Structures are given as C-alpha cells and as structure tokens.
Structure 1
Amino acid sequence: MNPQEFIDGLKRDKARGSLAPHQIILLIALSRIYKKSGKILSDILTLNSEFQEVWNSYKNEFKTTNNKLGMPLKAFVNKGYLTIKISEDINDFRNLSELESKISTLVIEDILITLFKADKIEEYLISRISK
C-alpha cells in the first residue's frame, strides 16, 4: 500500500480553512497501539488515551483545539478501517462517555495493518498532520 495515496484518499474536513488533523492523529494513535501490543484489538479507553497523547504532542502543528476522538472514529468505522463491537447503538459519536459505555472492542482492520507495516510510517503520518 502506498501511504501517500491512502492519506490523500482520506476525506479531511477543511471547514475552518485548514485540514483537520483528527484522522491523522487517530492513525498515529492506532499505529502506536498496534506496534506496542502487536494486536489488532483494543478498547476505547486505550485508544482515547493514545489519541490524546498524540494530540498533545503535535497540537502546535494545527489551529483547532477540538481534540475529540468521535468523528474520526466514526469516519474510520464507516470506511471499514475499524470495526467496533457495541452493546447498543451509538447515538452521538461526539459524546466520549457514550462511546466508553457502548464500545466494548475495537478491531483494526487489515487495510490499516498493511499501512502500519510501511517503512517509517509514523514519521510520514506526522509529516501529514497539517498537509
């Protein structure tokens, strides 16, 4: 898989004049989880913790202060990059407490695993946060 093609194919919001970093931050967080554990399974608390850690590391690279995980998570689920096991339907992906109470497991799908195996992928993802 070509990382540039994958990232260029993401639909990243540009409502406030610059590309939203959320999907790239989510990719970095997922990549780190996968590399640390070697597993394709995670939970929402681990994912949000890693997402916030990555966000805080790179928050000076972009303008937005909205560090919510929900909408990029929903986008990845809708695209088939992640599968979530839920106890009941999620009404509001923007509500972290709802996500925490309803998502039991996250499964990283093969397309992302392939992406994460690319040479120097985290460096590349970091370079794409704001472009």
Structure 2
Amino acid sequence: MQLVIGGAFSGKRNVVKNRHPGKLAWISAYDGRAVTEWKSCWDENATLVLEGWEKWLEDAIIQENDDEAVRKTLRNHFHYLMKEEQMRGEEVVLVMLEMGRGIVPMDSHYRRVRDLSGWVAQDAASLAREVHYVWHGVSERMK
C-alpha cells in the first residue's frame, strides 16, 4: 500500500498517474463515490486508487461520536485493503489531503474533521510501504 499526501491542488493526482501509468481503478469521494465501491470496481491488473478520505471521514463522524472508534474502523479498512492487495498482487494507493498546515477551523465539526484527518493520515503512513509527499507538483518519497 502506498500513501500519496499533500495539500489541496498540489498535484497529487498527476503524481499518481505518472507513477502508475497502467490501468487505474480510481474511486473518488469528490465524485460522490463511497469508499466501499472499490470492491466492485477494482478490475484485474489495475492499481486501486482511493481519494477523498477527508470526505469519507466527514461522513463517518456524522454517524459515530467516538473519534477512536472512527480511527479503528479506518485502520481496519487499511488492513483489509493491504490483505486484498497481497491476494491480488496489485497495488493500492491512498491519496490524502494534508489539512494540518492551514488555519485551524473555529467550527468544532470541521476542527474534528481536521484533527481526525491528521490521525488517520498518521495511521495510513505507519502501515504504508511507501509514503510520498506532494507539493507544487513535485513528490518526495518520505518512506
């Protein structure tokens, strides 16, 4: 599993496309797709790309008040993706938005989304085989 992380409009998508020029099964929350759609959309011989984690996280916290429970659910999801990746012999790429370098939101809901996004990104980074940080269209491998 790989993690590609960076700020808004930093070039993350282009970095993923350049690093994985073959077939991509791209599931994006920005297109209104659910994270679970990968199960039916991950074609053979394709790299699975999941983007928009802060949107999926925002949906999750509407249903769950316990931040640690949300983190645990997503960690379990990452572990499941890693097992599936290994069984298929294909790559999984998580594309995450870096939200920790901006202004801290005054609204408690958005502050919670920001904080949880940071924790979930840490969880993803600790599990990922590779971590790439992207800014201004340039990526640097961090792990």
- Structures share a fold, TM > 0.5? no
TM-score for the superposition, normalised by structure 1: 0.31
Give the greater-gyration-radius structure (CA).
2
Tell me which of the two structures has the higher relative contact order, counting C-alpha pairs closer than 8 angstroms and 6 or more residues apart: 2
More helix by percentage: 1
Alignment TM-score, normalising by the size of structure 2: 0.30
